[in-house]
Amino acid sequence: MPRSDVCTLSTLFLGVGLTYLFSANWALVFLVIGSLGMLLYVCMGRFKIIVHYAGWGRGPGEDAYVPVTGTVQAFIDGNTPDVKVSDIYFGKHYPGEPRQLKVVYSRGRVGARKTAVIPEHHVLRLP
């Protein structure tokens, strides 16, 4: 379970527990804070970029790509999406041939999937 979920649920349970220890007013304050935290987490998750597939290679066939999905998702999660596409990050596969990065992504869990193809030495920027 993600850390933010644990924190939000802990706050909600703390609010319920405080009902028995203190006045209902303090419990209500903690319940409201926990609910707002959960609402914020759900809303922010809708706009997060999720990488479904990323491949580094010569293209255009699927067998011409080496999977690098985890690396690309780590760049995006680390708030460094503006990365120059090169073999430094993705490996020296297919030497001597022009390479590209193919990324299939969506905004949030239910957003429409989009595909971006970024040539080598260009910057990875997902809209």
pTM: 0.62
Say what the pLDDT of residue 18 is.
Answer: 59
Give the integer Cα–Cα distance in Å for 87 and 60: 18
Give the integer Cα–Cα distance in Å for 55 and 69: 7
Say what the pLDDT of residue 33 is.
Answer: 73
Percentage of the chain beyond pLDDT 70 is 61
Say what the pLDDT of residue 87 is.
Answer: 83
CA distances from 16 to 33, 39, 107 (A): 12, 18, 34
Give the integer Cα–Cα distance in Å for 70 and 88: 15
Say what the pLDDT of residue 3 is.
Answer: 46
Looking at the chain, the number of H-run helices and the number of E-run strands are 4, 6
Rounded to 10°, the helix 24-47/3-21 angle is 170
Give the pLDDT confidence of 19-68 residue by residue, as tens digits: 666 666 666 676 677 767 666 665 555 568 889 999 999 877 667 889 99
Residue 114's pLDDT band (boundaries 50, 70, 90)? very high
What is the residue extent of each domain of the chain? Answer: 3-46, 48-124
